[in-house]
Structure 1
Amino acid sequence: MTDAAPNGATTGGALFVSDAAPNAATTGRYRNPVLPGCHPDPSICRAGDTFYLVTSSFEYLPGLPVHRSTNLVDWEPIGHVIHRPGQLGLRGIPSSKGLYAPTIRYHDGLFYVTCTVVAPPDGSWTGRTGHFLATARDPAGPWSQPLWFDQLPGIDPSLTFDGDRVWLCGNRVAQPGLWPGQADIWLVELDPASFAPIGDLHWIWRGALDGAGYAEGPHIIAHPDGGWMLLAAEGGTNRDHSVCVAYAEAITGPYRGDPGNPRLTHRDLGDRSPIADVGHADLVEDATGRWWATVLGVQTIGDGNGLLGRQTHLVPVEWERARPLFAPGTGRVQPVVDAAGVPDQAAWPDEIRDDFDAPALDRAWNGVGRFPAEFADTTARPGFVRLAASRTEPTDVGTLAFLGRRLPAHRTRVSARIDLDGEVRGGLLLRTSEAAVLEASVDAGGAARVVVGGRVVAGAEGLPTRGCEVVIDVDGLSAAVRVGEVELGRVDVSALATGGTSMFVGTWTGPFAVGTGHVDVAEVTLRTRP
């Protein structure tokens, strides 16, 4: 990766950090989301003057990306919590399963991330599942081997440090439940040395509103006026998503819901809101005493979701009569925010280009269920990444040879130059799930094709198998495809939008290889447009 961002920092995956730190005297403007591409379930903490953010990554490895910022609005990717083989395995896991809803915390010189590995309920994947904890002195890594919490139910674990005591909360869907989707939030004390659970679970919350489903994503924080505050998402991760809060004098409860719940939601705006599905908040206090919340949200196109998936947004938080006000004055997550305490946000680079001239892959590249190093080699041929083909088709669950990165914007032109060697087919994918994928490819016989959801929608013969440029030009919910010099037309990609065939994951894009042999890939470029 050779492109330079403004202020001289390298893109490192399309983001960079400004030198400007939060300042109570400044008022700056920033845009939401604060990270490009699919970054769901954001969790945030502060260590000194630096903020750290971690998000879900589901079936993709390396997993649980970590970002760093000194000002809350400009973020730099610095690594992943799950960054090496042997920490955990996701080979063969289907889309929208895997690594769910992490929480990051800092305490006494150590960073902690808790997370859950979730498998499909039909038993088709038999790998290790459940809650785990990983730790690091440096959030850029290395991170420890996972410490697994056996016998704890549900998803979305979150740590709370209370002096010398440590607590873990999470949620589970109640069985049978008081209404469909009713969930319980639990709390258990941990041994501060071994982090083994101590005693029984405390059942502390079942949701703010009767009939509202899926109280989840819990975080317990010390209330600035004393006692404790529980944040929880509610209403599911679609249009009824929300942020609800409850208060307690003792961490074990009883918790009383805020009479104004939900404290933040766009559920009343429906499909017409440019940012929808708002919820899953985490709170952080900056060094000046200002509070902020990270929340997830989805960018809509027309009356539906776009391809980018659930993303990380930032809102100011103020306290009024001991109650949190999210986005005070509007109660909305705005696409553009003017806020005190942050500088003007730096512009994102409009082009990401990888010439594969470095000895290691850029950290933004991911594999489906396996690490890119298992099938992608940057040393075999200078200026290329060599993808060892597999027999797994893009529409199958297995060991797909797909080198993907998050689609950064609704209008993005993705291009790559490829050489085929062997009985292979290669090109570019837009991938949201096995059931939601656009393929633009050429095979060893020079036949090009465009495939959407397993159905061939366009094709051509006589294409070159070496030096062939493949282009997918995304414009909202459609994409124009070119292979070599042949324009293969514009296709509808609305089936790739989050919330349809992929419940939780947005679209990734990049080169792939199917068959026996390999595909050499050069000059992958993602160019965004307003």
Structure 2
Amino acid sequence: MIRNPILRGFNPDPSICRVGEDYYIATSTFEWYPGVQIHHSRDLVNWTLVRRPLERASQLDMRGNPDSCGIWAPCLSYADGLFWLVYTDVKRYDGNFKDAHNYIVTSPTIEGEWSDPVYVNSSGFDPSLFHDDDGRKWFVNMQWNHRTESYGGAPKSPAFDGILLQEWDAGTKSLKGPIKNIFAGSPLGLVEGPHLFKRNGWYYLTTAEGGTGYDHAVTMARSRAIDGPYEMHPNTHLITSKDAPNAVLQRAGHGQYVETPDGQAYHTHLCGRPMRPKRRCTLGRETALQKCIWEDDWLYLAQGGVVPEVDVPAPVDVERHEKASRIETRFEPGPLPMEFQWLRTPQPERLFSLSERPGHLRLHGRESIGSWFEQALVARRQEHHSFRTETTVDFLPDTYQQVAGLTHYYNRHKFYAVVVTLHEKLGRVVTIFSCPGDFPHGRMIFPAGSGVAIPDGPVDLTMDIRENDLQFSWRAGGSNDWQALGPALDAGVISDEGGRGEHGSFTGAFAGVFAFDTSGRARPADFSRFVYQALEG
């Protein structure tokens, strides 16, 4: 069986592509660098992260991009001996405007180097490229209308002004011909995330609707001509949990169709797994896969209805490989381990080094943990509702402006951190920074006050998260005795729904290490290990 979600933790907007026996899924990465996650599978059951292709300044620079902006909704396809990746770099979120720029990059292989981007348009986000069987290529994206009351955190349907279609000329690397609005969406509204495919002479258009919260849905329509008119699916929606509040997989929508080599039908979608009692998704929007069937040239879920299931029949009988429940990273010279990312900048050498002190991840203290420009924070996705992380930090601050530690991080308004810093009277201390969703101010509070004085030398830091509760602890390097620090904190804040609510932000929670030095002297902090331990199945 396929066990959903197939990609745990923050992996939204899944675009799926099959080449021969190989399947690839591309997902959004927003402000996290490098851009776009691509996972690979041979059986639709077991998936491995193999590439983040947007990895250099000529491809992507997100310094200054607000939270929940950056790379939205990539579309991955294969044609003419090339992989094609289409994506949006969103430069504004709040207010009426989005400033969403769409690009295409290509590569002959997933694992190889990808081209510099070719600019396409800026009329809206969620672009997709369709390769027709006559050799022509078509570009679709939603159109954004700024003349509405829609703004970040409060989307309104009039801003989502239908799906635009225009032909793409691969020779001139530019759009050509008329622009046509081919689909206004269903009464659910907020139409976005378009993907086209063709079968039995029909053009099929799947879109995301209802916003990326609990009313989300995959909507389907078809036409005999690529530019319409499109007729709606008999059920309107192919996949949605909006009317099934007790379903395990909530917020279901935004995905893409794929066929196996023997013609079996599947459809990806994003989903959320909320925690009771407040229905907050600390794991963000994850990727799931549903088995489908065809009836009268319409696609339906194989189990009937529109509600997605956790366990889905796989196309072949294979063993499902579970990830290790405990992963300990020892930092060695070379590339940053694949599970880690950083924020926004294409100049990671200014943030961290794995060679300056062998056996350590050295972070150079840059701007604050709330910066949108240059933040020395290296983190991995939270993949379980309950987990524990540990790290060991060697850090000697000479001012309170120098801080390093361990963080449960969502964005600049939603994070907790246990930190080593300097106090004027206590000397070197360990304390807590808390920013529990105060928007728009991002004000911090300090649940452990000035903190606890600590001895010289390396310090071990840990956080235990058990669903809605977070507890920080520390110990002197080499000691066996963990000491709890501060009260239990509300871990559910570090979620899509925390703070300003479900449409206010929509990425996911990370666990990581960071350092800042607001004196501007780039004080280094050295981390020798990072442990991620799942505390659930």
Fold match (TM-score > 0.5): yes
Structure 2 residue 460 is matched with structure 1 residue 447 = no
Q: CA deviation at 1:331?
A: 3.5
Report if aligned partners of 2:68, 2:93 keep a CA contact under 8 Å in 1: no
1:141 to 93, 103, 112: 112
Residues 1:113 and 1:35: Cα distance change in structure 2 (over 3 Å): same
Structure 2 residue 137 is matched with structure 1 residue 155 = no
Matches within 5 A, 1:259-270: 259-270=234-245
Residue 57 of structure 1 corresponds to: 29
Residue 517 of structure 1 corresponds to: 523
Q: Which amino acid aligns with 1:513?
A: A
Residue 6 of structure 1 corresponds to: none
1:395 to 352, 370, 373: 370
Query: CA-to-partner distance for each residue in 1:152-193, whole Å, 9 max, x for gaps?
Result: 400011000113201000002346589645431010001131
Q: CA deviation at 1:121?
A: 4.9
Three-state SS of the structure 2 residue aligned to 1:494 is: helix
Structure 2 residue 444 is matched with structure 1 residue 482 = no
CA distance in structure 1 between the aligned counterparts of 2:417 and 2:158, rounded to whole angstroms: 38
Report if aligned partners of 2:160, 2:192 keep a CA contact under 8 Å in 1: no
Residues 1:465 and 1:413: Cα distance change in structure 2 (over 3 Å): farther
CA distance in structure 1 between the aligned counterparts of 2:463 and 2:173, rounded to whole angstroms: 48
Residues 1:353 and 1:124: Cα distance change in structure 2 (over 3 Å): farther
Report if aligned partners of 2:291, 2:312 keep a CA contact under 8 Å in 1: no
Residue 478 of structure 2 corresponds to: none
Structure 2 residue 84 is matched with structure 1 residue 78 = no
Residue 152 of structure 2 corresponds to: none
Residue 508 of structure 2 corresponds to: 506
CA distance in structure 1 between the aligned counterparts of 2:92 and 2:170, rounded to whole angstroms: 32
Report if aligned partners of 2:146, 2:159 keep a CA contact under 8 Å in 1: no
Matches within 5 A, 1:321-332: 321-329=296-304, 331-332=306-307
Report if aligned partners of 1:290, 1:341 keep a CA contact under 8 Å in 2: no
Residue 390 of structure 2 corresponds to: 415
Q: Which amino acid aligns with 1:462?
A: A
CA distance in structure 1 between the aligned counterparts of 2:381 and 2:91, rounded to whole angstroms: 22
2:413 to 432, 435, 454: 435
CA distance in structure 2 between the aligned counterparts of 1:183 and 1:478, rounded to whole angstroms: 41
Residues 1:309 and 1:268: Cα distance change in structure 2 (over 3 Å): same
CA distance in structure 2 between the aligned counterparts of 1:353 and 1:293, rounded to whole angstroms: 34
Residues 1:437 and 1:124: Cα distance change in structure 2 (over 3 Å): farther
Report if aligned partners of 2:492, 2:498 keep a CA contact under 8 Å in 1: no
Matches within 5 A, 1:271-286: 272-286=246-260
Residue 151 of structure 2 corresponds to: none
Residues 1:93 and 1:410: Cα distance change in structure 2 (over 3 Å): same
Residue 23 of structure 1 corresponds to: none
Structure 2 residue 7 is matched with structure 1 residue 35 = yes
Deviates more, 1:350-359 or 1:43-52: 350-359
Query: CA-to-partner distance for each residue in 1:49-100, whole Å, 9 max, x for gaps?
Result: 1011110000010110111111111111111121123312111222101110
Report if aligned partners of 1:92, 1:125 keep a CA contact under 8 Å in 2: no
Gapped runs of 5+ residues in structure 2?
149-155, 436-443, 476-481
Residues 1:342 and 1:58: Cα distance change in structure 2 (over 3 Å): farther
2:79 to 96, 100, 107: 107
Structure 2 residue 282 is matched with structure 1 residue 307 = yes
Q: CA deviation at 1:30?
A: 2.7
Q: Which amino acid aligns with 1:132?
A: Y
Residues 1:31 and 1:38: Cα distance change in structure 2 (over 3 Å): same
Q: CA deviation at 1:301?
A: 0.7
Residues 1:500 and 1:213: Cα distance change in structure 2 (over 3 Å): farther
Query: CA-to-partner distance for each residue in 1:368-406, whole Å, 9 max, x for gaps?
Result: 11244431100011210100001x222343321100111
Gapped runs of 5+ residues in structure 1?
1-28
Report if aligned partners of 1:395, 1:437 keep a CA contact under 8 Å in 2: no
Residue 195 of structure 2 corresponds to: 219
CA distance in structure 1 between the aligned counterparts of 2:319 and 2:526, rounded to whole angstroms: 41
Identity percentage of aligned residues: 28
Residues 1:116 and 1:182: Cα distance change in structure 2 (over 3 Å): closer
Residues 1:85 and 1:174: Cα distance change in structure 2 (over 3 Å): closer
> How many residue pairs end up in the alignment?
495
Structure 2 residue 164 is matched with structure 1 residue 164 = no
Deviates more, 1:253-262 or 1:356-365: 356-365
CA distance in structure 1 between the aligned counterparts of 2:445 and 2:330, rounded to whole angstroms: 32
CA distance in structure 1 between the aligned counterparts of 2:334 and 2:254, rounded to whole angstroms: 38
Q: Which amino acid aligns with 1:495?
A: V
Residues 1:430 and 1:334: Cα distance change in structure 2 (over 3 Å): same
Structure 2 residue 331 is matched with structure 1 residue 356 = yes
CA RMSD of aligned residues (A): 2.1
Residue 62 of structure 2 corresponds to: 90
Report if aligned partners of 2:86, 2:129 keep a CA contact under 8 Å in 1: yes
Report if aligned partners of 2:147, 2:159 keep a CA contact under 8 Å in 1: no
2:446 to 456, 481, 506: 456
Query: CA-to-partner distance for each residue in 1:464-519, whole Å, 9 max, x for gaps?
Result: 35320110111112111102242114211222111334521101111000114110
CA distance in structure 2 between the aligned counterparts of 1:327 and 1:482, rounded to whole angstroms: 48
Residue 375 of structure 1 corresponds to: 351
TM-score computed with the length of structure 1 as normaliser: 0.89
Residues 1:317 and 1:200: Cα distance change in structure 2 (over 3 Å): same
CA distance in structure 1 between the aligned counterparts of 2:432 and 2:405, rounded to whole angstroms: 10
Q: Which amino acid aligns with 2:261?
A: A
Q: CA deviation at 1:337?
A: 2.9
